[in-house]
């Protein structure tokens, strides 16, 4: 090799990869990090599940506090975020399990399943909320 670090008084700064500022994102990498992000969101959401169960066991007063918090605007926004995370992590998790069998790993299949997961996430989340509001109204 022609480069001699000792001559220049130290190591040359080496290029880092990937350059996040100029990195062109692809569906594959975005969905990959979203799986992790939704997993973290759901771990936090599991606290809400435990709160729900404990509030129900503690009695009507505790349950009213829980219902007021989750029924508020902020509560509903968070719940919708958790709904998206839930259906995304569920669908993409099934995609991962399918990959674990060695299938669907070629690029066209990966893109197709990626778009399918995104579509399912949006449709299932909206359907869950529309159904929820509809049942409350009925």
Partner 1 sequence: MATDTRSPVARVRGLGSAKEGVQHWWVQRLTALALVPLSIWFAAGVVALAGASHAEAAAWIGHPLNATLMILTLGLTFHHGQLGVQVIVEDYVHAEGAKLALLILVKLLALALAVAGALAVLRLMIGSAA
Residue 49 binds partner 1 (CB under 8 A): yes
Question: How far apart (Å, rounded) are the C-alpha atoms in residues 80 and 78?
Answer: 5
Question: How far apart (Å, rounded) are the C-alpha atoms in residues 93 and 75?
Answer: 26
Residue 122 binds partner 1 (CB under 8 A): no
Question: How far apart (Å, rounded) are the C-alpha atoms in residues 80 and 124?
Answer: 11
Cα→Cα distances 65→6, 72, 110, 118, 137, Å: 68, 11, 44, 34, 21
Residue 97 binds partner 1 (CB under 8 A): yes
Tell me which of 27, 33, 54, 116 binds partner 1, using CB under 8 A: 54
Hey, what's the torsion of the CAs at 17, 36, 30, 122, to 10 degrees? -170
Tell me which of 8, 15, 100, 102 binds partner 1, using CB under 8 A: 100
Segment contacting partner 1 by CB under 8 A, of 2-10, 24-32, 106-114, 128-136: 128-136
Q: Which is nearer to partner 1, 10 or 59 (CB)?
A: 59
How open is the CA angle 77-78-81, to the nearest 5 degrees? 90
Tell me the closest approach of the beta carbon of residue 93 to partner 1, in angstroms. 5
Residue 50 binds partner 1 (CB under 8 A): yes
How open is the CA angle 2-7-11, to the nearest 5 degrees? 80
Q: Which is nearer to partner 1, 3 or 101 (CB)?
A: 101
Tell me the closest approach of the beta carbon of residue 81 to partner 1, in angstroms. 15
Tell me the closest approach of the beta carbon of residue 35 to partner 1, in angstroms. 9
Q: Which is nearer to partner 1, 100 or 106 (CB)?
A: 100
């Amino acid at each position: 090799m022609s480069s001699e670090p000792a001559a220049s008084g130290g190591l040359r700064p080496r290029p880092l990869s990937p350059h996040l500022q100029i990195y062109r994102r692809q569906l594959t990498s975005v969905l990959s990090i979203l799986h992790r992000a939704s997993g973290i969101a759901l771990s936090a959401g599991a606290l809400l599940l435990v709160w729900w169960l404990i509030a129900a066991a503690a009695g009507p007063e505790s349950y009213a506090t829980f219902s007021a918090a989750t029924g508020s605007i902020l509560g509903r926004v968070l719940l919708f975020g958790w709904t998206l995370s839930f259906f995304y992590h569920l669908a993409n998790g099934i995609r991962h399990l399918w990959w674990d069998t060695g299938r669907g790993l070629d690029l066209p299949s990966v893109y197709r399943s990626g778009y399918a997961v995104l579509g399912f996430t949006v449709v299932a989340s909206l359907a869950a909320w529309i159904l929820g509001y509809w049942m409350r109204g009925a």
